[in-house]
């Protein structure tokens, strides 16, 4: 007869392959199952823990699906008005230069209503980090068109697909901020496969390390899915993202150590 192994026996130190970081609270995430926000939260908090910066970290939550990021991130946090996170972060970092300051923003927040704050903080060369979740849609308000909704993509306010003649062009804000003298590092990643999660995490770590150099904004875009807003299953949304979003928003480094990648 086969012997039954109890759960306690499995949960031994030597068997552990994953431990939730202390920098995430026990609150269950408010995100839709399959959404990339949760993974982006986790890797951001893991990096802060690994860098031993818990007591230094001050995060700024946006208005968007991640408005409640402060419920999940177990660090000191401020909740900004829609689009204004870079203004808050500017003041926090200037008033407390030794802290690790970052904003966590969606595309509507960062590239529509907050465009001025984004561009000017990036152009001034503020020494904080921007983590930008680009899901090509307004998730929180129910799936309206975003500045990063790609041509032809459907949303509740572009129900027949984005027609650029009527609705204008999407904004490649990440490429735009990379051209500004005040950004030091700019890169684009995704969190939909284990390999990509590892790369994104490395990029966030690099961005936080760059912040310590005080050479300007370190900017990490994560192209992510919004399976609810896109009206797809999580798996289909990831496939759709690979096939449609990545060609428009190619992954990789855009600016490294202050130099644009050719």
Residue with token string 């946090």: 77
Give the side-chain half-sphere CA count within 13 A for 185: 25
Residue 139 interacting with ligand TPP (CB under 6 A) = yes
Which entry of ligand TPP, another protein, ligand SF4, none binds 56, CB below 5 to 8 A by partner kind?
another protein
Closer CB to ligand SF4, residue 85 or residue 217? 85
3-class SS at 190? strand
Do residues 113 and 81 touch, judged by C-beta distance below 8 A?
no
Residue 38 interacting with ligand TPP (CB under 6 A) = no
Closer CB to ligand SF4, residue 35 or residue 77? 35
Integer-rounded Cα Rg, in Å, for the chain is: 19
Which entry of ligand SF4, another protein, ligand TPP, none binds 84, CB below 5 to 8 A by partner kind?
another protein
Least distance (Å) from another protein to the CB of residue 53?
A: 9
Residues that bind another protein (CB under 8 A): 54-58, 60-61, 67-68, 70, 74-81, 84, 87-92, 94-96, 99, 116-117, 120
Least distance (Å) from another protein to the CB of residue 122?
A: 11
Question: CB within 8 A of 123, min separation 6: which ones?
Answer: 180, 181, 182
Residue 109 interacting with ligand TPP (CB under 6 A) = yes
Question: CB within 8 A of 111, min separation 6: which ones?
Answer: 118, 134, 146, 147, 148, 171, 173
Residues that bind ligand SF4 (CB under 6 A): 31-32, 35, 37, 65, 135, 139, 226-229
Phi and psi (nearest 5°) for 236?
-60, -35
Q: Rounded CA gap, 100 and 79, in Å? A: 16
Residue 63 interacting with ligand TPP (CB under 6 A) = yes
Provide the binding-site residues for ligand TPP, judged by CB under 6 A: 63-66, 82, 106-109, 133, 135, 137-141, 146, 226
């Amino acid at each position: 007869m086969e012997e039954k192994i109890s759960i306690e026996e499995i949960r031994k130190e030597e068997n552990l392959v994953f431990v939730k970081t202390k920098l995430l609270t026990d609150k269950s995430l408010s995100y839709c199952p399959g959404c990339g926000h949760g993974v982006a939260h986790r890797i951001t908090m893991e990096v802060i823990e690994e860098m031993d910066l818990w007591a230094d970290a001050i995060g700024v939550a946006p208005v968007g699906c991640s408005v409640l990021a402060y419920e999940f991130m177990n660090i000191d946090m401020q909740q900004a008005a829609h689009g204004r996170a870079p203004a808050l972060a500017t003041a926090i970092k200037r008033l407390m230069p030794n802290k690790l300051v970052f904003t966590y923003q969606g595309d509507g927040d960062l590239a529509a209503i907050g465009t001025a704050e984004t561009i000017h903080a990036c152009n001034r060369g503020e020494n904080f980090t921007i983590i930008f979740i680009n899901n090509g849609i307004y998730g929180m308000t129910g799936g309206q068109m975003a500045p990063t909704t790609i041509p032809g993509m459907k949303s509740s306010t572009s129900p027949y697909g984005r027609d650029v003649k009527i609705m204008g062009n999407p904004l490649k804000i990440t490429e735009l901020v990379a051209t500004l003298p005040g950004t030091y590092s700019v890169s684009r990643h995704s969190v939909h496969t284990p390999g990509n999660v590892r790369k994104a995490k490395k990029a966030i770590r690099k961005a936080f390390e760059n912040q310590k150099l005080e050479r300007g904004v370190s900017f990490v875009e994560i192209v992510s899915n919004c399976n609810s807003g896109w009206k797809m299953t999580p798996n289909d949304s990831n496939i759709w993202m690979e096939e449609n979003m990545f060609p428009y928003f190619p992954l990789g480094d855009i600016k490294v150590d202050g130099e644009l990648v050719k």
